[in-house]
Structure 1
């Protein structure tokens, strides 16, 4: 029963619940209260105190959404234990509404990376890797596949890091069929398939980038570090002059459950576990910074910049909402409209007809 209950939520959700409950229970211990069962007044006092905390730079320490999530966690823990949920009391709800009204600020959104941005980052990555040791070429191939597959597939960073070799199947005509087994909005893990087409330019072809990284991955698993060193040391500067995506096999090997995107050590060694979401976030910022992007812009980039970049670039290219949702998996057209307002405000806007 416990095992089946654990599968009702993702690992990230369970970790978040544990973290939230730890914060609340520690506060209760410090103030001389019992975490369970907690009273509505006790929970309200906790929220009021936490909402007033500030960081060293003067910003609020906790956003209203964080406080609301804490209440949800406290409610869930009480419900599982058979107690009344203190956060459902009207006094707690009124307090949260007051906090949200007093902190009415626009939500922080990641800046999208458009196709030209990705092309610039890839160009710098490859120029640097070409003149450096072979170990840098291993990281370049992995990062290029991450960037291009994330952009073309409108994938979240959690979806990218969860991919296995079995989830990516080559198709002779269409490119790659990528199975996303579960995602943030797919609580029942029904899964969906995303198609990544062959690119026009071999430098930005997601299928070519996947194959270049897959060769490194297979070589490592079969021959280890020495085999990868020999492979990448022999790689020429003209390897991107032509496409290499037309020879992919659709055969699924017995070891196809291998993790697709893994850590790459500075020595060139590959890890065995999946890359973390934070690692994807840091990689994007690091690559953009080295490519010459301004520090202010780099600070607004992250793992979601690839998914946001897909929607923004598609809107700018004239794609319809329905065709965008086919790739992103959005169930609500308002989410696509949100990207349009914030990052493609002149597309389909009558203001361009004013003749100013």
Structure 2
């Protein structure tokens, strides 16, 4: 921070703060203390918090892209104002269907990141954003978003989603994405990290390397050809790969409104959005999330009689995972039920 920047910061002191004039040497020391404080706070900030702030800022960038498409004017990311921050809240609520508590955390993440970049975020902006959020927190339906375990997708729902897929490159990508997520029992973050050059086509189907994410170990899985061409992950992947001309790099890429491919991998949030949007377009009765493909694979595979250890190999669950055994219990619920054929 320069001396001039320090002077400007003092000029922007909160209303009612005492007016103090410092000489250049004092300002230099104060500036150095500010910089040291920022470094210290960053050093002690938990890794998960930093990762969360990075995700918040990625969403802020996505919001600005969405806004630019509609206004024809790209605003700088540093424009954290009352208008943009309230717009961000409304966008998260209506476009991303985010839970109010999640939106609250996003507000914090964006403002903290912006301040770390030297942006002066007006207090009026954060106050207005949380005023816009307040009625959302009083809405039971909104507050219920994201609660409970994800609905497990069924093969019938996958066929329903396939029937509603859009034409063009985006439709090919979306179908390949959610069928691949199902086929590898993948988390959204894992699907986002898949690479085209580590998905190998063999006679039986695909050999897929699922990379390590969030400290979880990598795994290698196989995805067989499906009997139904409309919901076969192998055919869907090969069709998308050929249409997009992908041989290396990220397996799934963003696509502009003009049909041009981006060069960076989709984010986990984008993966979740594609799955949710595809299900909603198809009129699927339950709300599907990114985790629905993973849950759906486990329950579907179990109902088909697959062994627990083989399912765990595909999903990467630990042997004693409560989540895994919860899926197995759900799948086995009607198998040899205690109330079946007992003379009633």
Q: TM-score, normalised by structure 1?
A: 0.56
Check 1:194–1:154 CA distance in 2 against 1; reply closer, same or farther (3 A cut).
Answer: same
Equivalent in the alignment of 2:157:
117
Q: Pick from 6, 9, 15 the counterpart of residue 51 of structure 2.
A: 15
Matched, 1:263 2:293: no
Equivalent in the alignment of 1:181:
211
Contact 1:158 1:183 in 2 (8 A): yes
Q: Pick from 265, 268, 271 the counterpart of residue 274 of structure 1.
A: 265
Structure 1: 4+ residue segments shifted above 4 A? 17-20, 58-63
Contact 2:300 2:331 in 1 (8 A): no
Equivalent in the alignment of 1:231:
none
Name the CA distance, whole Å, in 2 between partners of 1:170 and 1:212. Answer: 12
| CA displacement at 1:59 relative to structure 2 | 8.6
Alignment of 1:279-294 (within 5 A): 279-294=270-285
Q: Pick from 134, 137, 159 the counterpart of residue 55 of structure 1.
A: 137
Which moved further from structure 2: 319-328 or 307-316? Answer: 319-328
Name the CA distance, whole Å, in 1 between partners of 2:230 and 2:324. Answer: 28
RMSD (Å), alpha carbons: 3.6
Name the CA distance, whole Å, in 1 between partners of 2:175 and 2:140. Answer: 38
Alignment of 1:170-249 (within 5 A): 170-172=201-203, 174-184=204-214, 186=216, 190-218=217-245
| CA displacement at 1:159 relative to structure 2 | 0.5
Name the CA distance, whole Å, in 2 between partners of 1:303 and 1:276. Answer: 12
Contact 1:202 1:208 in 2 (8 A): yes
Contact 2:303 2:331 in 1 (8 A): no
Q: Secondary structure at the match of 1:350?
A: coil
Name the CA distance, whole Å, in 2 between partners of 1:197 and 1:108. Answer: 31
Q: Secondary structure at the match of 2:278?
A: helix
Name the CA distance, whole Å, in 2 between partners of 1:61 and 1:107. Answer: 8
Q: Pick from 314, 321, 324 the counterpart of residue 336 of structure 1.
A: 324
Name the CA distance, whole Å, in 1 between partners of 2:140 and 2:147. Answer: 18
Name the CA distance, whole Å, in 2 between partners of 1:13 and 1:215. Answer: 39
Name the CA distance, whole Å, in 1 between partners of 2:170 and 2:108. Answer: 37
Per-residue CA deviations over 1:19-47 (Å, capped at 9, x if unaligned) read: 88x969x99xxxxxxxxxxxxxxxxxxxx
| CA displacement at 1:264 relative to structure 2 | 1.7
Structure with the larger RCO, 1 or 2 (CA within 8 Å, 6+ apart): 1
| CA displacement at 1:305 relative to structure 2 | 0.3
Give 5+ residue unaligned stretches, structure 1.
28-53, 64-105, 130-135, 222-252
Contact 2:169 2:244 in 1 (8 A): no
Q: Secondary structure at the match of 2:189?
A: helix
| CA displacement at 1:272 relative to structure 2 | 1.3
Equivalent in the alignment of 1:144:
175
Equivalent in the alignment of 1:161:
192
Alignment of 1:20-31 (within 5 A): none
| CA displacement at 1:341 relative to structure 2 | 3.4
Q: Secondary structure at the match of 2:230?
A: coil
Q: Secondary structure at the match of 1:260?
A: coil
